[in-house]
Chains A and B, each alone.
Chain A
Amino acid sequence: MDALALQREGEGWRIDLRGDWSLAALPGIDLELGALPAAMSGALVCDWSQVEHPGIAPVWALLTRLSELGSAPRLVVRHEGNPPHTVQLLQKLQLELCTSHGTRALAVPNHEGFVGKLGRWTVLQGTEAGHLLAFFGRIATVLGQSFSRPRVLRLASIARHVQETGVSAIPIVSLIAFLISVVVAYLGAQQLARFGATIFVVDLVTIAVLREMGVLLTAIIVAGRSGSAFAAEIGVMQLNEEIDALRAMGMNPIELLVVPRVLGLIIALPCLTVIADAMGLAGGGLLSLVQLHIPPAQFTIRMREALSSTTFWAGMVKAPVFALLIGMVGAYRGMQVRDSARELGRLTTMAVVQSIFLVILADAFFAILFEQISF
C-alpha cells in the first residue's frame, strides 16, 4: 500500500513513487507525505516510473510538501521516470502562489469587550427600530395617497391576499380554536367541580375565547402561515432583483407588494377571528354537553348572562392591530434579504418570531388599556 519509499542516494535522496496516485488515494498519500523527515537537503530525485493514474491533487500535495521541507536548506528536486505532464504546470502555479503570498495581509484580531458589544448591539437595535418606523411611514404614505388616488390600492391584489391568508386558513384556524377551547373547558370543569360550580365553565369559555384566545390563537397561526410567506416571497423577489426592477420601472414596491399584503391581512384576520370565536364557543358547548350534561339551550342562556356589551369587541378590536404588526414585520424582513439563501431563511425565521412576540406584547398593552378604561 506504500505510495512512496524514501531512501538515501549518495549525498542526496531518492523517492520511489508507486501504485495508485489518483485523487481517491489522496488521504493515504497525504499521511505518508506527512511522515517524511523534516530535515532534508541536497538533491532529491522523484521517480514516477511505477505510478498509475496520477491525479492533479496528489501531485499538488507532493509538491507542496516538498517545498515546505526544502524551505530552510535548499532542496533541489528533480523528477524522473516519465513524470505526469501536470507536474510542470503545478510547479509553475506554485511559484506564482509563493510570490503572491507575501502580499496577503493578515486580519488584525479585534478585541472588543462586553461594553463594546453592548454598545454595538444598542446602536443596531436603535437603527432597526428607526428603519421599521420609516417602513411604517412609507406604508402610511401610500395609504394617504389612496384617498386622492384610489387606484394605488390595487383591489385585485388585495382580494388575492385575502384569499391566501384568510379563506385558505379557515380549516386550520377552526380546528385549533375548537380543540383548544375543548381543552380549556375540560380543565376548567375539573377545577370548578370541586366547588360544585361547573356551570361557570360557560362563563370561563365565553370570556376566555371572546376576549383573548380567539384573536390571539388566530394571530399566532396567521403569523406562522402568512408572516413567513410574506417574508419568503418578498425575500426571493429581492434575491432575483425583481424589487430593483420594479423600482427601476418607476413602480413603488411598497405600493405594489407590501400594502396589498398588509391590507389583505387586516381584512382577513378579523374575519378569521369571528370564525375562531364561533368555533371556540362550539367546542366549549360540546364539552359542556358531553361532560357536564348542560344542554345547548341552557349553555346559550348562561352565555348571554356572562357576556357584557364589550366582551366580543374587546377581542375584535385587537385583530386589525395584530394583522398590521404581522404583515408589516413579515414584509419588512423580506425586504431586508440580501445575497444568500441563508439570509432568506434567517430573516423568515426572524419575521415569524418577532411578529409573534409583537402580537403578545401588544396583547399585554391592550389588557392594561382595557383594564384602565374598564372596557
Chain B
Amino acid sequence: MAARDPVAEPRDDDLVVRVAGLVNRFGSQVVHNGLSFEVRRNEIMGIVGGSGAGKSVLLHTILGLHEPQAGTVEVFGRNILELSPAERLAMSRACGVTFQSGALISSLSVAENIQLPLREAYSLNEDLLEDLVQLNLSLVGLAPDAAEKYPAQLSGGMVKRAALARALSLEPKLLFLDEPTSGLDPISATDFDALLLYLHGELKLTVVMITHDLDSLFRTCDRVSVIVDGRMVTDTLPGILENTNPWIREYFHGQRARGAQLAAAGEAVPRAAHG
C-alpha cells in the first residue's frame, strides 16, 4: 500500500520536498553546484533567480523529468531517482504542475484537457466527468461556458487558470507553478494571487512557485528561495530582505522591488484594520 501511495505515509511529516547536494551541468556550464532545497508541508515557497540560474532545471529535476549529475531528490520522503515505474506514476499523480505557457493540449477543449488525467487514472462515467470539470472550473474561478472553448480561444489569464484546473484535477497535495503570473496584466495577476491563496487555504496545498513577479512574491509566499551561483539561499521574506549577498540585495532592493514592497505594505494596513 505504501509503495502505491507515496502521499499516504510520508516518512518525514514536515518536509515535502528535500533536495540535497544537487549538481547539474550542461557541457562546461555548471547550473547547480551542490544545491540544497527544502519545502515544508503546507507552505507557499517562492523560487527566484536570474535568467539562466536554473529555476526550470530545478523544477524538472524535482519532477523527475531531468536526471541530475549528482545529489538526492526526495519528494514525500521518497527518492524520486529510485522509483519503480508504478511508484513514479503514483508520484506524478500526487504532484500537480502548471507550465509557463500553460501547456494545455491545443487540440482538446478545456473540458477535455481537465478530463484527460482523470480518464487516464480512473474509469469514470461521462456524467461524473462533466461534473468534475464543473468542479475544477469553479475552483479556479472560470465560468462554466469556458469548458467548451479551445486553448487558442482563451485569454492569457484564462489559460493560466485552465492549466491550474487541469493540475488540480487529480487532487494533488503538492503543486508546482512555473511563472504563474507571467504575461498577465496586473489585475489578472492580482486575481491569480488571490486564487492561489484561497486554494492554498481551502485545499491545504503545498505550493512551490517559480516567479519573477515581485508583487506576487510579496503577497503570497511564506518563504523565498534564491538561486545564486548554483546554490540556494532560503529564508522568510523579512529575512531575505536583510540578506547581504549583492545579487539578492540588487534583486530585492532595486527600483521595481521597492514599488512592490510599498504596494504589499500598503495592502497590509487595511487588511489588518478589517481583520
Q: Could you tell me if A340 and B171 are in contact, using CB atoms closer than 8 angstroms? A: no
Nearest CB of chain B from residue A275's CB, rounded to whole Å? 40
User: Interface majority SS on A: helix, strand, loop or mixed?
Assistant: helix
Q: Could you tell me if A27 and B124 are in contact, using CB atoms closer than 8 angstroms? A: yes
B29 proximity list for chain A (CB < 8 A)? none
Using C-beta atoms within 8 Å of the partner chain, give the interface range for chain B: 20 to 34
Q: Could you tell me if B152 and A338 are in contact, using CB atoms closer than 8 angstroms? A: yes
Instruction: Name A98-123 residues within 8 Å CB distance of B.
Output: 100-101, 104
Instruction: Name B131-160 residues within 8 Å CB distance of A.
Output: 131-132, 134-135, 138-139, 143-145, 150-152
In this assembly, does B84 line the interface, its C-beta being within 8 Å of a C-beta of chain A? no
In this assembly, does B244 line the interface, its C-beta being within 8 Å of a C-beta of chain A? no
Stretch from A89-97, A284-292, A319-327 forming part of the interface with B: A89-97
In this assembly, does B262 line the interface, its C-beta being within 8 Å of a C-beta of chain A? no
B170 proximity list for chain A (CB < 8 A)? 23
Nearest CB of chain A from residue B111's CB, rounded to whole Å? 14
Bound-complex Cα distance A340 to B132 (A): 25
Q: Could you tell me if A24 and B152 are in contact, using CB atoms closer than 8 angstroms? A: no
Q: Could you tell me if A93 and B151 are in contact, using CB atoms closer than 8 angstroms? A: no
Bound-complex Cα distance A26 to B135 (A): 14
Q: Could you tell me if A340 and B151 are in contact, using CB atoms closer than 8 angstroms? A: yes
Bound-complex Cα distance A26 to B132 (A): 11
In this assembly, does A57 line the interface, its C-beta being within 8 Å of a C-beta of chain B? yes
Nearest CB of chain B from residue A221's CB, rounded to whole Å? 29
Q: Could you tell me if A24 and B122 are in contact, using CB atoms closer than 8 angstroms? A: yes
In this assembly, does B28 line the interface, its C-beta being within 8 Å of a C-beta of chain A? no
Q: Could you tell me if A61 and B131 are in contact, using CB atoms closer than 8 angstroms? A: yes
In this assembly, does B202 line the interface, its C-beta being within 8 Å of a C-beta of chain A? yes
In this assembly, does A339 line the interface, its C-beta being within 8 Å of a C-beta of chain B? yes
In this assembly, does B51 line the interface, its C-beta being within 8 Å of a C-beta of chain A? no
In this assembly, does B89 line the interface, its C-beta being within 8 Å of a C-beta of chain A? no
> Which one, A24, A93, A338, contacts B135 given CB within 8 A?
A93
B122 proximity list for chain A (CB < 8 A)? 23-24, 26-27
Bound-complex Cα distance A30 to B132 (A): 12
A104 proximity list for chain B (CB < 8 A)? 144-145
In this assembly, does B203 line the interface, its C-beta being within 8 Å of a C-beta of chain A? yes
In this assembly, does B255 line the interface, its C-beta being within 8 Å of a C-beta of chain A? no
Q: Could you tell me if A30 and B128 are in contact, using CB atoms closer than 8 angstroms? A: yes
A100 proximity list for chain B (CB < 8 A)? 143-144
> Which one, A27, A61, A64, A339, contacts B106 given CB within 8 A?
A339
In this assembly, does A70 line the interface, its C-beta being within 8 Å of a C-beta of chain B? no
Instruction: Name B115-132 residues within 8 Å CB distance of A.
Output: 122-125, 128, 131-132
B151 proximity list for chain A (CB < 8 A)? 339-340
Chain B: CB-nearest residue to A25: B122
Chain B: CB-nearest residue to A23: B171
Bound-complex Cα distance A26 to B128 (A): 9
B138 proximity list for chain A (CB < 8 A)? 93, 96-97
A61 proximity list for chain B (CB < 8 A)? 128, 131-132
Bound-complex Cα distance A86 to B151 (A): 29
Q: Could you tell me if B107 and A57 are in contact, using CB atoms closer than 8 angstroms? A: no
B131 proximity list for chain A (CB < 8 A)? 60-61, 64
Most chain-A CB neighbours within 10 Å: which of B107, B128, B134, B139? Answer: B128
Instruction: Name A149-180 residues within 8 Å CB distance of B.
Output: none
In this assembly, does A15 line the interface, its C-beta being within 8 Å of a C-beta of chain B? no
In this assembly, does A78 line the interface, its C-beta being within 8 Å of a C-beta of chain B? no
Bound-complex Cα distance A271 to B134 (A): 60
Bound-complex Cα distance A238 to B150 (A): 18
In this assembly, does A8 line the interface, its C-beta being within 8 Å of a C-beta of chain B? no
A338 proximity list for chain B (CB < 8 A)? 152
Bound-complex Cα distance A339 to B150 (A): 9
A342 proximity list for chain B (CB < 8 A)? 106-107
Q: Could you tell me if B144 and A57 are in contact, using CB atoms closer than 8 angstroms? A: no
In this assembly, does A224 line the interface, its C-beta being within 8 Å of a C-beta of chain B? no
Bound-complex Cα distance A60 to B127 (A): 13
Chain B: CB-nearest residue to A59: B135
Nearest CB of chain A from residue B237's CB, rounded to whole Å? 27
Q: Could you tell me if A340 and B135 are in contact, using CB atoms closer than 8 angstroms? A: no
Q: Could you tell me if A56 and B128 are in contact, using CB atoms closer than 8 angstroms? A: no
Q: Could you tell me if B144 and A101 are in contact, using CB atoms closer than 8 angstroms? A: yes
In this assembly, does A55 line the interface, its C-beta being within 8 Å of a C-beta of chain B? yes
Bound-complex Cα distance A316 to B48 (A): 62
Report A's interface with B, CB cutoff 8 A: 22-24, 26-27, 30, 53, 55-57, 60-61, 64, 85-86, 89-90, 93, 96-97, 100-101, 104, 338-343
The 5 closest A-B pairs by CB, nearest first: A342-B107, A339-B152, A340-B106, A93-B138, A60-B135
The 14 sampled A-B contact pairs (Cβ below 8 Å) are A23-B170, A24-B122, A26-B122, A27-B124, A30-B128, A56-B171, A60-B131, A61-B132, A89-B202, A100-B144, A104-B144, A341-B105, A341-B107, A342-B106
Besides A56-B203, A104-B145, A339-B152, 7 other A-B contacts (C-beta < 8 A): A27-B122, A27-B124, A85-B202, A86-B203, A93-B138, A340-B152, A341-B106
